[in-house]
Structure 1
Amino acid sequence: MTTLRHTLLAAALALAVAGSPLARAADVPATPPPSGVLGVTDAQLDPSFWVSRLPDADKVVLDAQAIAALNDKVMRLDPSMHDIRHLGATLPRDQVKGWITKLTSKPSKALYDMEGKDVPSATIDAIIANAAIDAIPANVTPRYGMAVRRSALRGFPSDLRVFSHAGDTDIDRFQESTLFPGDPLVVVQMSRDGQWAFVASPRYAAWMHAADIAHGDAQAIFAHVDATPYRVITGAKPQTVYTPEVPALSELQLDMGTRVPLDTTLPPDQPVNGQTAYTAWTLSLPLRGNDGSLSFHPALLQRNQDSAAGYLPLTRANIIRQAFKFLGERYGWGHAYNGRDCSGFVSDVYRSMGLQMPRNTGDQAKSPGLDHTLYTDKDSHDARVKAAMALQPGDLVYIPGHVMMVIGTIEGQPYVIHDVGGMSYRQADGSMRRVKLNAVSVTPLLPMMFNDTQTFVDRMTSIVRIR
């Protein structure tokens, strides 16, 4: 296959540039494929291509009991996680201040707005002043709540979008992550203007719009989180049915991995929000009252939308199928642009199988709760290449600021799916080809260049294997 040959030859050249004895001399075609994505054909954009190549594709890698034990381990050992179920009645000022100032501190470098203009220092100062850090009491009483919609988590109490470089508006430096409908949280600080709440959720602590939170009793919140029966969202981002009766729950997006209890209190022959429930699942979703209080209300999810009666079995086939449901989705730093970034992508895939991972690449790569192999400057290029050639589907490969998910090999060459800004590789004449992707994409691993002299493999910091 011509395209595959191109891939293998380009990989060989990339290795040769790095000085690997595994490389071989070859003529690399001067003309790349029309897409610019070396080594990928249309067939390889179908998950069945990769699943069909797997031995024991449907063998369970970790069962539900093992996943629960791993989740518990990650929650106990990983400092980026927050066990909000077992917080004390009050939290000390220093703990809360530490959470906030980890994010909400004066940037050391210039930032630019959407028009490419410098963000004035006074603007940043005013936003930080709105955080009211000086007003944190000696003892903070956590206030429990739930996210009622997909809601951005921000590093600062502001919707201002800021960027490191003028004209580069893909990565908003104030954007951190996102919460989904039904995610539990605790509010530990309010902004001076009352429009923002600093919250701690199991996987992240940051600012969110106060209007996206419904406040309630902790016991009732966690009873709802744990309620059975339930549906797990297995599609990329299905929506509830349109309903004019309850606008807040109309066409509400539910992202992959979200667990939503079923409402079992309603007679099956009675309409839900003006519509029969015969062809849908009746979900129980959080609703915010006019006073900010939490209640639960039914909403319909069509049965032809991807969901399951429980978390999907953690198999290699499911890992690949779930990952490919995001193929082509626009890159969104911190789940912005109604998408997700590289670490959000892999964690949402594993979340649909019940596994809860830390939010960010740096935390995932070195989490004491996960099985990882770390790489430093002491590890040779050859050792890194050998490890790359031994990768298995589902493995996560980390480089500074990025993570990739392995989906298989072609003639020994590893391929990955990842939410990535672009692909760079050496052409036959030695020049660098740079292709902007900015989406969940399939690429070979070995030809990927991190910079003009180093491959992704040369910059590999960790391999995480969920086993």
Structure 2
Amino acid sequence: MRTQQSGPRRFGKVGWLAFALAIALGGPHAAARDLPGGSAWQAPPSGVIGVQEAYLDAEFWVARTADADTVLMDRAAIDARNARLLREDASMHDIAALPATLPRAQVAAWIEDLASPPTKALWDEAGKPVPADTLAGIVGNRAMAAIPDRQPTRYGMAVRRAALRAFPTTLRVFSSQGETDIDRFQESALFPGDPLVVVHASADGKWRFVVSPRYAAWVEAEAIAEGDRATVLAHATRAPYRVVTGAKPRTVFTREEPRLSELQLDMGTRIPLAPAAPDAPVNGQHPYAAWILDLPVRDADGRLGFAPALMPRIADTAGDYLPLTRANLLRQAFKFLGERYGWGHSYNGRDCSGFVSEVYRSMGVQLPRNTSDQAVSPVFARTRFDASSTRAQRMAAVAALDVGDLIYIPGHVMMFAGRIDGMPYVIHDTNGGTLLGPDGEPRSLRLNGVSLTPLLPLRFGKDHDYVDRITNIVRVTTPP
């Protein structure tokens, strides 16, 4: 366990040990009233126990972290592991290694493996059942019979942030009536400059099925542009460049180039600088107070081009990926604090796995897209738990957590932020968050956003806490 500086005496060592022992030995039903005394564990007006206002600042946690600025992996080690990820992780796609032509079987497998035709009832945003013929039309829009026996491998690039969908439709669908957050057709997102391979078109021509390094899914055709292989693949290595280190800064407004006006660039996006004169106006504005980015654009024929756009120098960007340090992990994670939860990157936000991916991406570290793949990837150091794992083994692993470690329970991932007198805290993008109330019954906090919480009080139903349900702990900051 990494030594940390002493903090506010809200949860002393005796209280921590008593609490841990209560949970470990007798406490699946331990309620909020069983928490040790101290103002941190009395429900504040927010109802989020254990959290004071001071805790919502990244610098609070940086100051408590030993060796906060130590570089945990250098650029060469990170690049080598990213290369391994492409080679060894089955959830990733090395699009540079694809053959010059693609057989029908491979294209059909990508499409069919993504999603099966719906067999259960679904509801729309208005709470109305989605008619069976509507769903059949959406499935038919995949145009599976139109996939040729063989086709040339066509490369392209995302020109804006765009939703990746399970089927070629913008219709949002939900598993239960009245649900409006977890859209079952939403998968992930592409970001400007993301490389991809275009493998199929929908029957209505409005969608393309694309294979990107981290995901294969449907995207609106207008959000991507096709170009030659060399140009697309070279974009990721062009220099000099800027790395977006803020949550989601935007380029400046420009009426001269509306395609790039106030374009959002999410954390970790890497954009080359344009070969432009530093004393000539760019889109009607002098560039001396901005970075001139060379961004992809789509022409009228759907072909890839590039055009300059200005990113203000005051925007949160850097000339390279940030060093992989505990301090940077905390500072980057807290830049999302309070952002609304967005399943599959919906609501212009991100979900739990998207959140940790973008934090690490700002340091040049690539992760698989989904929790199920992140948790078991062969290229990261991990501790695995199953039904035979004892409570003592789980608590020992929790006690050994280091800043930046990723904690997986079914369907969710959390990032370890630090401890206050031994109590572990996590920052995570969650659409729920449950505690046991004074009556011993589960009570949802309805956090629905990027949140800081203590780990141990969080419940997975009435009879188990999150520790009981940990499947894996992944340490991204060291090689396996």
Same fold, judged at TM 0.5 (above): yes
Match for 2:398 among 366, 380, 388?
A: 388
Cα deviation code 1:23-80 (max 9, x no counterpart): x976668952211111010000000010001111000000000000110111111111
Distance 1:185 1:160 in 2: 24
Match for 2:347 among 337, 341, 354?
A: 337
What's 1:44 paired with?
55
What's 1:353 paired with?
363
Letter in 2 for 1:396: L
Letter in 2 for 1:216: G
Contact 1:4 1:40 in 2 (8 A): no
Deviation at 1:165, TM superposition (A): 1.1
Of 166-175 and 220-229, deviating more is: 220-229
What's 1:121 paired with?
132
Distance 2:132 2:161 in 1: 30
Letter in 2 for 1:257: G
Counterpart check, 1:268 vs 2:281? no
Distance 1:132 1:150 in 2: 25
Match runs of 1:411-430 below 5 Å: 411-430=421-440
User: Compared with structure 1, are the counterparts of its residues 392 and 160 closer, same or farther at alpha carbon in structure 2 (3 Å cutoff)?
Assistant: same
Distance 1:400 1:389 in 2: 21
Deviation at 1:224, TM superposition (A): 2.0
Counterpart check, 1:369 vs 2:379? yes
Counterpart check, 1:288 vs 2:298? yes
Distance 2:220 2:79 in 1: 31
Match for 1:307 among 301, 306, 317?
A: 317
Distance 2:55 2:20 in 1: 17
Cα deviation code 1:347-393 (max 9, x no counterpart): 00000000111000000000112222221111112211211121110
Cα deviation code 1:334-353 (max 9, x no counterpart): 11000000000000000000
What's 2:5 paired with?
none
Deviation at 1:19, TM superposition (A): 5.8
Counterpart check, 1:181 vs 2:181? no
- Structure 2 segments unaligned to the other structure (5+ residues): 1-7
Match runs of 1:134-283 below 5 Å: 134-264=145-275, 266-283=276-293
Counterpart check, 1:323 vs 2:333? yes
What's 1:297 paired with?
307
Contact 2:9 2:421 in 1 (8 A): no
Aligned partner of residue 61 in structure 1, secondary structure: coil
What's 1:435 paired with?
445
What's 1:459 paired with?
469
Aligned partner of residue 163 in structure 1, secondary structure: coil
User: Compared with structure 1, are the counterparts of its residues 131 and 280 closer, same or farther at alpha carbon in structure 2 (3 Å cutoff)?
Assistant: same
Distance 2:22 2:388 in 1: 24
User: Compared with structure 1, are the counterparts of its residues 130 and 20 closer, same or farther at alpha carbon in structure 2 (3 Å cutoff)?
Assistant: closer
Dislocated runs of 4+, deviation >4 Å: 1-5, 7-17, 24-31
Distance 1:169 1:17 in 2: 38
Letter in 1 for 2:164: L
User: Compared with structure 1, are the counterparts of its residues 210 and 26 closer, same or farther at alpha carbon in structure 2 (3 Å cutoff)?
Assistant: closer
Match for 1:448 among 440, 458, 465?
A: 458
Cα deviation code 1:205-228 (max 9, x no counterpart): 000000111111110112222100
Contact 1:142 1:186 in 2 (8 A): yes
Deviation at 1:171, TM superposition (A): 0.6
State the TM-score, normalizing by the size of structure 1: 0.95
Cα deviation code 1:83-127 (max 9, x no counterpart): 001210111211111110122421232211101121122111111
Aligned partner of residue 51 in structure 2, secondary structure: coil
Distance 2:92 2:264 in 1: 25
Aligned partner of residue 314 in structure 1, secondary structure: coil
Of 154-163 and 30-39, deviating more is: 30-39
Aligned partner of residue 313 in structure 1, secondary structure: coil
Contact 2:42 2:49 in 1 (8 A): no
Aligned partner of residue 379 in structure 1, secondary structure: coil
Match for 1:131 among 138, 142, 148?
A: 142
Deviation at 1:434, TM superposition (A): 2.1
Deviation at 1:16, TM superposition (A): 5.5
Letter in 2 for 1:289: D
Letter in 2 for 1:400: P
State the TM-score, normalizing by the size of structure 2: 0.93
Q: Size of the alignment, in residue pairs?
A: 463
Distance 1:368 1:262 in 2: 35
